[in-house]
Amino acid sequence: MMSHENLKKQVSELVAHCKGRVGLVIETCEGRIEINHNDKFSAASLIKIPILIEGFRQCEDGLLDLHEYLPAFPSKRVGGAGVIQALSADLKLKVIDLMALMIIVSDNSATNLVIDRLGMNEINQCIKALNLQSTELNRKMMDFEAIKIGMDNYTTPNDMVTCLKVIDQHRFLSKENSEKAFGILEKQQFKNKLSESIDLEAMQVANKTGELPGVEHDCAIIKYGGKTIYAAVLIDQLSKQAEGRQTLVQIGKVLSNFMKS
């Protein structure tokens, strides 16, 4: 059986060999592994998790009907990940479906429509209510003008693990909405990082990835045999994206071995 100390040693070695800056929190039932856990990173698509939580919170507070249709006007569409940019000009989608697309295919157009509907200020209020210390939503997806003037979205490994635990442990939302949020994360289609070496037939994984030039992130809830791991691994300052992805794949493999041992 792999001990928590052995897990920590293996993870630390993988981090030491990575050519980027790595921040992580891995929480198992036996303890926490923290490396640069409060360092601020560009959030990339990880910011979509607190947006998802705020969507369900507004539904609970009667401020939002998840089955309300929003038009996805071509003028509101952006590039990058997602499918909306390739669909009909007169497309309308329910808020709940936009939230699902925002997570499972990391759809940037869907995310921006959700931000507009929920309100950037309200999402940041939710971030405060979740007690996330260094997470900020300052710009919409694919807003390169904002990035140019130094406006970006930020988070930390610690804050991301807080989000995962809030969803999995039904701490902030009702049990029903927590389970809906978990279900969306579980349908994630980008499984090429922490999940790459995990047997997804045997283990349950609910995750969200993120990437930007020089940035590779993944955060996941992993369940197996009654055990749960919360993992947030954020990497930046990469000269080659593949090196960051490889570190994430290797960490995922070690976590899988730990769960099965």
pLDDT tens for residues 13-49? Answer: 999 999 999 999 999 999 999 999 999 999 999 999 9
Contact predicate 31/103, CB 8 Å: no
Question: Could you tell me the pTM of the whole model?
Answer: 0.97
Name the phi and psi angles at 119, rounded to 5: 95, 125
What residue numbers bound the domain in which 26 lies? 4-260
The pLDDT score that the predictor gives to residue 1 is: 83
Q: What is the pLDDT of residues 179-214, one digit of tens each?
A: 999 999 999 999 999 999 999 999 999 999 999 999
Paired residues of 30 in beta bridges: none
Calculate the alpha carbon distances from 119 to 115, 149, 152 in Å.
Answer: 6, 22, 17
Question: Who's near 218: CB < 8 A, 6+ residues apart?
Answer: 193, 194, 195, 207, 208, 209, 210, 231, 232, 233, 248, 252
Domain count, the chain: 1
Longest dimension (CA), the chain: 56
CA distance 64 to 22: 37
Contact predicate 222/205, CB 8 Å: yes
In order along its 261 residues, the chain shows pLDDT tens digits of 889 999 999 999 999 999 999 999 999 999 999 999 999 999 999 999 999 999 999 999 999 999 999 999 999 999 999 999 999 999 999 999 999 999 999 999 999 999 999 999 999 999 999 999 999 999 999 998 998 999 999 999 999 999 999 999 999 999 999 999 999 999 999 999 999 999 999 999 999 999 999 999 999 999 999 999 999 999 999 999 999 999 999 999 999 999 999
CATH of the domain at 155: 3.40.710.10
CA distance 168 to 191: 19
3-state secondary structure 82-94: CCHHHCCCCCEEE
